[in-house]
Amino acid sequence: MKNNDKVAISVKNHLNSISVHGYVDKTVTQAYSFYMAKTLQIFKTIESLRARYYKVAKKKQSLIDLINEAEIPEHVYNSNAIEHSTLTLEETEKILSQIDLDRFISERELFEAKNLARVVSYINANAKIKELDIDMILFLHKILLSNINDEIAGRLRQGEEWVRVGNHIAVGPKLVKQKLEGMLIEYNSFTNENIIKKISYLHLYFEHIHPFVDGNGRIGRVINNYILIREGYVPINIKYIDQQLYYKALREFDEKNKTSIMEVIVGKALSNSYHKRLAYLEEREIIKLLDYSKINKISHSNLLNKANRQTIEAFLEKGIWKIGV
């Protein structure tokens, strides 16, 4: 069987079909429809972008480190916002820069920002060195919830600590460790599967287990990047603007054991991350997509549509679409 054919089929029954019901957002619907029609093409595109990235990344580690560091506030803002944090991106940047805010925020939100930034920094520096296992997941969780809830930081659910997410009741506390071990074993068995499918499945399975009393979403999203970095890809940033689509992906897996919606999210996020890094590493001039449309006399709405579908090398940075020219 050819590799492209392997990509098109499932590694397990829960990965073998792609379907979706209506979205609340027109852009999301368009992005999904495009992804459905071009699944194999996107898989190939990611590998092509990856090859370009490795070619230009040589001897530019200092620039790569700067990009990763500059992205930390955005990662923190988006992941916390998905979990209903009230902090804006600007406020998140101020907190991480030790600048006082103009309004009162809770101590929890303060530590949520600082702790998640520590987790992201740790992963950027150590993911290639240390394997992802349960001990590492617990370590990251302990950092995340330090000074927020030290009683549950760094440990799995136990006793009568049941959790519910929407209509989904997560596995019982006694089964959590067993399920996590099975998740990691299953992930490592997907040796021939595309990275988008692998990350989508790992993330959704982790959230389905919901191993912690608190912090599951944030840890699940940083685990994505831990794996991506270890496997030689660039980290991704799941955006707050995709929150509703993200929730639909969780429900799709809980109810139907499917990963198709999450594949849309991961595929777009990964191409976006490569487009941004390539623009910097190839030393192109980076301008706003709006300015690009004016210079080239192209409809801005048309360019935005292409950017959302990632059919042009545009990338979203701090809520603004940009492109390297």
Please report whether residue 311 resides in a domain: no
Per-residue b or e along 70-90, where b marks 16 or more CB atoms closer than 10 Å to that residue's CB? ebbbbbbbbbbbbbebebebe
Bridge pairing between strands 286-288 and 314-317: unpaired
Please report whether residue 126 resides in a domain: yes
Residue 11 — pLDDT band, cuts 50, 70, 90?
Answer: very low
Gap between the Cα atoms of 275 and 268, Å rounded = 10
Please report whether residue 169 resides in a domain: yes
Could you tell me the residue range of the domain that residue 77 belongs to?
A: 3-283
Is 0.85 topped by the overall pTM?
yes
pLDDT per position as a tens digit, 277-319? 999 999 999 999 999 999 999 999 999 999 999 999 999 999 9
Do 30 and 274 touch, CB atoms closer than 8 A?
no
Please report whether residue 301 resides in a domain: no
Please report whether residue 316 resides in a domain: no
Question: What residues have CB less than 8 Å from 41, skipping those under 6 apart?
Answer: none
Whichever domain contains 28, its CATH number is 1.10.3290.10
Please report whether residue 294 resides in a domain: no
Please report whether residue 106 resides in a domain: yes
Q: Across residues 63-87, what is the average pLDDT?
A: 97
pLDDT per position as a tens digit, 118-148? 999 999 999 999 999 999 999 999 999 999 9
Please report whether residue 117 resides in a domain: yes
Q: Across residues 176-185, what is the average pLDDT?
A: 97
Please name the residue that has the structure tokens 């392997």. Answer: 6
The total domain count for the chain is 1
Residue 25 — pLDDT band, cuts 50, 70, 90?
Answer: low
